Amino acid sequence: MTRIVFLDRGTIGPTVNLRKPSFEHEWVDHDRTSPGDEVVERLKDADIAVCNKVPIRRAQIEQLDKLKMIAIPATGYDAFDIDACKERNIVVSNVRGYAVNTVPEHTFALIFALRRGIVGYRQDVIDGKWQEAGQFCFFTHPINDLAGSTIGIVGEGSLGQGVATIARALGMRVLFAAHKGVSGLGPLYTPFDEVIETSDVITMHAPLMPSTRNCIAMPEFRKMKRNALLINCSRGGLVDEADLVAALEQGLIAGAGFDVLTSEPPAPDNPLLKVLGRPNVIVTPHVAWASTEAMQTLWDQTVDHINNFKAGTPSNTLW
């Protein structure tokens, strides 16, 4: 009987209907799994591994003689040694296109909250400042409309396109940034530096690669408009976090909304932890992807890939 082991069940929300594959199988759930030896211990008799973020590297793959497939309930696959899987003929499948609504919506939730000072005003009301104001309103945080402003989008894939659709509906001017240091990409792209210099909101929707790591750092912050917001619902590592904190403290930008960090959960010395109390900073725990609807789509795709593999027609394979 096919043995399927889910190494990190806790990465899928409790509202999701976790339907199982249609063929006869044994299913084992683990809420979380430590990297290294525990991976090998739990997968030593598995035919199929379901794993979101627990690293499965060459050292583990070489000890897993029975493993035939890794099903990733996510798009990102940097936790897995794809070359080692290919050498062992282990099929690896991921999910795609499930977050086309949830990530753009979360992006704009952050933008609205920062652009209209909602975090700061909420805290003011909690602190009793409304009662102290002596009138029906007060103005302790700037409020700006999005209509008529410019949004610069770094990353032109489905998520970046989804953000652009919402932005245009709100009356924003949309710029897609050309790849940093690359010219000649065509009229749909605006030079990277021009996007950095002219956008009121800059939002990241690019993959993390050597060419994109820390593509926003102090040189870019110094070029930004002082009223600019920086949003990252894509990948930690696209922005130099120490430089971001310095830019906020120096008033080089107006605010930041991040759903991803370089290390997750954040290390105690992550510089962003020092500024979480600021009204112009919002950090959410990598949940932009996690609407109930998106997670259900993600899981349904994952199970479909397992069924397809068992039927001899693997889908969404990574090699």
Residue 182 has what pLDDT? 80
Catalytic residue among 25, 141, 179, 286: 286
Q: Could you tell me the residue ranges of all domains in the chain?
A: 2-98+292-310, 102-283
Catalytic residue among 264, 278, 293, 305: 264
Q: Check if 122 is active-site.
A: no
Residue 187 has what pLDDT? 82
pLDDT tens by residue, 67-87? 999 999 999 898 999 999 999
Catalytic residue among 205, 235, 241, 305: 235
CATH topology of domain 2-98+292-310: Rossmann fold (3.40.50)
What sign does the dihedral 264-234-288-259 (CA atoms) show? positive
Q: Check if 220 is active-site.
A: no
Closest CA to 33 of 14, 15, 17, 56: 56
Cα separations (Å) of 69 from 45, 89, 240, 307, 317?
Answer: 13, 9, 36, 11, 10
Please give the mean pLDDT across all residues of the chain.
96
Indicate the pTM of the whole model: 0.91
Quote the CA–CA distance of 110 and 187 in Å, as a whole number.
29
Fold: same for 2-98+292-310 and 102-283:
yes
Inform me whether the pLDDT recorded for 225 exceeds 80: yes
Cα separations (Å) of 61 from 6, 81, 96, 227?
Answer: 16, 8, 24, 49
pLDDT tens by residue, 170-208? 999 999 999 998 877 778 899 999 999 999 999 999 989
Inform me whether the pLDDT recorded for 286 exceeds 80: yes
Domain 102-283 in this protein, CATH class: alpha beta
Q: Are 208 and 236 in contact (CB under 8 A)?
A: yes
Rg from Cα positions in the chain = 22
Inform me whether the pLDDT recorded for 28 exceeds 90: yes
Residue 192 has what pLDDT? 96
Q: Which two tokens stand for residue 309?
A: 């593999």
First to last CA, the chain: 26
Which residues 6+ apart lie within 8 Å of 252 measured at CB? 221, 222, 224, 226, 246
Quote the CA–CA distance of 16 and 73 in Å, as a whole number.
13
Q: Check if 305 is active-site.
A: no
